[in-house]
Structures are given as C-alpha cells and as structure tokens.
Chains A and B, each alone.
Chain A
C-alpha cells in the first residue's frame, strides 16, 4: 500500500502516459517535446524524442489497443503518433482551435478522442478513412471558460467536462458513421453536442473529472478543496460533496466503483471510499510521511535562526515562526497527473502511476478488498 517505484526523469513533468505493455512511458518534461523511455531491466533509457510541437505539450494519451499516441499542446495543435518500425510518425489533427488545447483523452473504443481547450470549446476528433486524416467536430458555446479536463463514459458516447467556470457538463458525442446506434438510448440524446447535464456543485474551478468503471458515478474536484460525487447523472442525479482537510486536488482516478484516488497540491495521493450505502468519505493518505520534528528541536531551530539574524531574544523561543519543514514522501511538488496501470487479466485496478512538477513518476500499488 505504498509507492512501489520512484523514477526521476526530468526537472518537471507536465503529463505522462504508459504504453499498452507498460514497458514504455511517454512524458513531457515541461517543454515542447515528448520523451519516450523504455525500461531495460532496472534502468530507464530514452528511446524517442517526439518534437513537433512549438509550445508545451499539456496532454498525452496512449491508446491501449491501437498503440497510438495523441499529444496536444498550448500551440493549438494536436498530433496522433503511430509507431512504424522504430520511428514514431506524426499525423496532424486539424483541431480548428484558436486557443491552446488543455487536455486530451482517447475514447474507450479508441475511435475518437476529445480535446478540451482554452477556446471554451471541446473538439471530438475521429479518423476519416477516405481522406486518411483526423477530423474534428467542435462543441462550441456551451462553456463559459476554459475546459480543463475531459472524461469519456464507458459507452463511448457521453463525455464529461470540467471547466474554470466551476461547472461540470455532460455531453453526447454521437457521430454518425463512427458510433453505432444503441437501441436503449433515446433518439434525442443521440444528437452531437447535446448537453445532457450541467452540474453546479463547485463554486470555484473544477478539475479532474472521471467516470467510475461502470459509468454510474461521476466525480470531480473543485479548487476550494472539495471533491464531488454524483450518482446516476442521466436520470436522477444525487450529489455528495466532501471537503478536504488541506490543499485542493488536480486529478482523480477510479480504482473501482467504490474507491477513488485523488492527487493534487498536497503531494500525497488521497483515497476516498464509498460504503455499502453509497456514502463517500475520505479514508487516508497513501504516502507514509516521516514524523515531524519534535517541539524541542523546533525551538532549537528558532534559536539558531535568531542568532543568525542577530536578534536579541526577548520573546520566548517557542513563539518564533518556524520555517516550514519539508514534507517528506515520494513527491516533493504538486502531483498533476494520475494514470491507471491495468494488470493483464485483472478486472480491478490496483496499480497506478502519478507524475508531478518535481519530475518524478511514482508507481503505487494498493490492495483493495473485494
């Protein structure tokens, strides 16, 4: 129930993604390139550097079945990379955006991907076989501010988005010719760009939206240190909001329908579980921290500081403002990205990796009951 592996790849990592066999990791070291590293035994070696973008690459997703990499960047472009032999060949995606792209995710069937952007719109891109390129359809005028995160529902049609206007919206992204018509969904829902729901639970910016594996629960984090869980979005939504003790979350991951991991500015993953009645609560921090120094050591520190700055100690030493102690733990800076690591044959997820602004990719393993 802790960090299995810690790898320091760069000074700062924006986002990362794993290959289908989990032997390679692709990440952006806070510049316009994407580095792909492969694990050879115990050592990581840089295999490829994908440099087509002009500005920082803010979203990477690696499709598990078709082994394609999609990258989006602040320069309004997106590329789909496919591996041909030893080289990665980029295919430009015409996004038709006039502001930066902020996030990307492949759909569960991997025939589409969604891009959220600062142009207050979402692009749903699909592959057109006749012209051999990726075409985008935009959902415009539904968001009031930048779209920060997107999440696909397991049915490949519904898309949930979070935005800096604080709202979480669910859209239908049915595209004729790409998606097959499901008999159970009503025809009105099948229109592309139709807004199914708008959730106003957060008063500040919303990040990290995810659907549960069954698709029945939606969760997202608000910047006011809250996490919101919504059950049954389509017909009868019921919401739960849990305030957090410390700093806000940036990203979430559903390990099962009952367990959620949240990562954020605390530099420590948090576990939330739902009990049998469906009531969510905070369970624990994942990282074991080193014990905080005792108060006697603290007063020694403050005395030393006093001497350093030449103050005459009139005040008692325990009154001095102590300098903040380093937190300890696997991550030293904000964790920005959490990616699942599915084990072959396993239906429940118990491994995931996090990357943060400290340049580390940490793999965590958790044993979930049942």
Chain B
C-alpha cells in the first residue's frame, strides 16, 4: 500500500515526512490551498491510502509493500499534467513541492553516533538505526524526472534524476554531473557518488545547517535543479550547432 499525498498545502508534505505510520490522522490547520493545482490521483479527498500498483522502475517500492512502521514506506507523489496548464507550469509546482518538503525535512541537529563511541556520522548514510531515519519521500514530476529526499536526525540526502530525453542528453547529463560530482569538495553539500538509480545526490548535515542559512541551502538546491535542465539543453544545443557547422564545412569541399 502506498501513501499518497496531494499537495494542497506544502506543509502537508512536511508532516508526512515526520510520521512513520502509514495512516495519518488530521492535518494541522491546512490553510490556503493553492488554486488550480493540476494533479490528483483519485478524485476523493487527499491523504487517503490508495493502492497504486508499484512502479517497475523503482524496485524498492516492492520491498516497502510490507508495512513496517518505522522504515521506508514511499510516499509517492505524482503530478499529472492537465490539458489546460502549460508544460512550464509543472516545473514550478515540482520545485515548490521540493522546496516545501526540504523546509520540513531539513530540521537537523547534532547527534553523536549510537553505534560507535566518540564518532559523529550522518545517520542517513550509516543506516543502522531504523528509529533515527525518517520515511523517504519521492517526488516525481513524470517517469523520467524525480527527486528522492531521505532524512535522518542529523543529515538529509537529496537524490535527483534529471530529464534525459534521448541518447545525446543521456551522455551529456552523465558527463556533466560526473564533472560536478568529482569536484564535490568545492560544493560542500554534494555527494561524490549519486545514490543508485539517480543522477546526482546531495548530502546535507547538521554542520552545514549550522554554518549556512537553511533557506539559502534550500534556495541553492532548487536553483541547482532549475539550472541543470538549462545547462543540459544548452550543451545539447551547442553540440548540435557544432555538428552542423562541422558537417557544413566538411561537405563544402564536395560541392
């Protein structure tokens, strides 16, 4: 059984993150639902657990079918594109949803390791104490683009899969993101290797939240997501332009 959240109120997503139980009772003070949100899976009221057939693309969903309170029950949010709204509209909703989830999820504090004395490790990476890790939240824009947010008491891991429409975009995305990941030291919050099944991952710990402002960190992540798409489109455009120029020059000799 998969939990479904509808995003009338960004805080709805936030509260889901903190609750390991699959059945939530009342929402606190839902205010100002956004008007004309073009998504819903069922026409009934939100926060009902609907049985959605598990997606074949994410094998972990099958594992989470066994309802084990405390660990990973995926909250699957799908944005369906209505006929009225434009394509550009959904990216705003997607990013707003991610921003609101991050605002709720990025409540980190210094927490010494329970397993090893005198050590302080990011619990989301350590993964040994299930009570310290929250439910992961998966926010999907469509089948190709999604964002996985895993939180724990002292760290949060954000993994993204960027849109890759064709082979060329695939190669460009892989090379570009690998270039960034190798320079993860400079970014501080970037993870050197993306999580399995995703293109790039961020690891934010309580130390980052102490040094930097939380809202600035969230701004950075959301801006990064926006920029990645633009960068890859630009790269693709320049590759195609260059290819065309080279081909024109080469074939001129045969005219």
Contacts of A361 in B (CB 8 A): none
Choose one: B89, B96, B109, B120; the contact of A315 (CB below 8 Å): B89
Contact B89 A204 (CB under 8 A): no
Report Cα–Cα, A74/B104, bound state, in Å.
Answer: 27
Contacts of B14 in A (CB 8 A): 225, 247
In the complex where A74-B120, A204-B20, A225-B18 touch, is A334 in contact with B131 (Cβ < 8 A)? no
B69 to chain A: closest CB distance in Å? Answer: 8
Contact B132 A321 (CB under 8 A): no
What residue of chain B has the Cβ atom nearest to residue A205's Cβ?
B153
Q: Does B192 contact A (CB under 8 A)?
A: no
Contact B118 A165 (CB under 8 A): no
Contact A225 B210 (CB under 8 A): no
Contact B92 A165 (CB under 8 A): no
| A132-140, A238-246, A293-301, A344-352 - interface stretch | A238-246
Q: Does A223 contact B (CB under 8 A)?
A: yes
Contacts of A54 in B (CB 8 A): 118
Report Cα–Cα, A248/B106, bound state, in Å.
Answer: 11
Task: Mark out the residues of chain B between 122 and 139 whose CB falls within 8 Å of any chain A CB in the assembled complex.
Answer: 129, 131-132, 134
Q: Does B184 contact A (CB under 8 A)?
A: no
Contact A321 B222 (CB under 8 A): yes
Contacts of A323 in B (CB 8 A): 219, 223
Q: Does A14 contact B (CB under 8 A)?
A: yes
Contact B112 A74 (CB under 8 A): yes
Report Cα–Cα, A98/B119, bound state, in Å.
Answer: 12
Contact B153 A333 (CB under 8 A): no
In the complex where A76-B117, A324-B215 touch, is A223 in contact with B18 (Cβ < 8 A)? yes
Contact A145 B132 (CB under 8 A): yes
B57 to chain A: closest CB distance in Å? Answer: 26
Q: Does B178 contact A (CB under 8 A)?
A: no
Contact A203 B19 (CB under 8 A): yes
Contact B118 A75 (CB under 8 A): yes
Contacts of B226 in A (CB 8 A): 309, 321
Report Cα–Cα, A2/B106, bound state, in Å.
Answer: 27
What residue of chain B has the Cβ atom nearest to residue A146's Cβ?
B114
Choose one: B18, B120, B230; the contact of A248 (CB below 8 Å): B18
Report Cα–Cα, A119/B11, bound state, in Å.
Answer: 34
Task: Mark out the residues of chain A between 99 and 158 whose CB falls within 8 Å of any chain B CB in the assembled complex.
Answer: 99-100, 102, 118, 120, 144-146
Q: Does A195 contact B (CB under 8 A)?
A: no
Q: Does B81 contact A (CB under 8 A)?
A: no
A78 to chain B: closest CB distance in Å? Answer: 14
Contact A203 B215 (CB under 8 A): no
Contacts of A334 in B (CB 8 A): 107, 109, 209, 214
Contact A357 B92 (CB under 8 A): no
Contact A98 B20 (CB under 8 A): no
Q: Does A192 contact B (CB under 8 A)?
A: no
Task: Mark out the residues of chain A between 298 and 326 whose CB falls within 8 Å of any chain B CB in the assembled complex.
Answer: 309, 311, 314-315, 319-321, 323-326
What residue of chain A has the Cβ atom nearest to residue B88's Cβ?
A315
Contact B89 A319 (CB under 8 A): yes
Choose one: B29, B112, B218, B230; the contact of A118 (CB below 8 Å): B112
Report Cα–Cα, A30/B88, bound state, in Å.
Answer: 44
Q: Does A256 contact B (CB under 8 A)?
A: no
Choose one: A100, A223, A315; the contact of B112 (CB below 8 Å): A100
B224 to chain A: closest CB distance in Å? Answer: 12
Report Cα–Cα, A100/B21, bound state, in Å.
Answer: 29
Contact A336 B109 (CB under 8 A): yes
Contact A244 B28 (CB under 8 A): yes
What residue of chain B has the Cβ atom nearest to residue A54's Cβ?
B118
- Cβ proximity bits A42-78 to B, threshold 8 Å, 1 near / 0 not: 0000000000001110100000000000000011100
Contacts of B198 in A (CB 8 A): none
Choose one: A58, A118, A146, A319; the contact of B92 (CB below 8 Å): A319
Contact B88 A243 (CB under 8 A): no
Contact B112 A321 (CB under 8 A): no
Q: Count chain B CB atoms within 10 A of each CB in A75, A315, A320 and give the residue with the most.
A: A315
8 residue pairs from A and B, CB less than 8 Å apart: A204-B134, A205-B153, A309-B226, A315-B92, A323-B223, A326-B215, A334-B109, A336-B109
Q: Beyond the given A205-B132, A333-B213, please list 14 additional residue pairs across the A-B interface where CB-CB is below 8 A.
A: A54-B118, A55-B112, A98-B117, A120-B114, A145-B129, A164-B131, A204-B134, A223-B107, A243-B29, A248-B107, A265-B107, A309-B226, A324-B99, A333-B214
Q: Nearest 5 A-B pairs (CB), nearest first?
A: A243-B28, A100-B112, A224-B18, A324-B215, A265-B107
Q: Which residues from chain A sit less than 8 Å from chain B, CB to CB?
A: 11-12, 14, 30, 54-56, 58, 74-76, 98-100, 102, 118, 120, 144-146, 164-166, 203-205, 223-225, 243-248, 250, 265, 309, 311, 314-315, 319-321, 323-327, 332-334, 336, 357
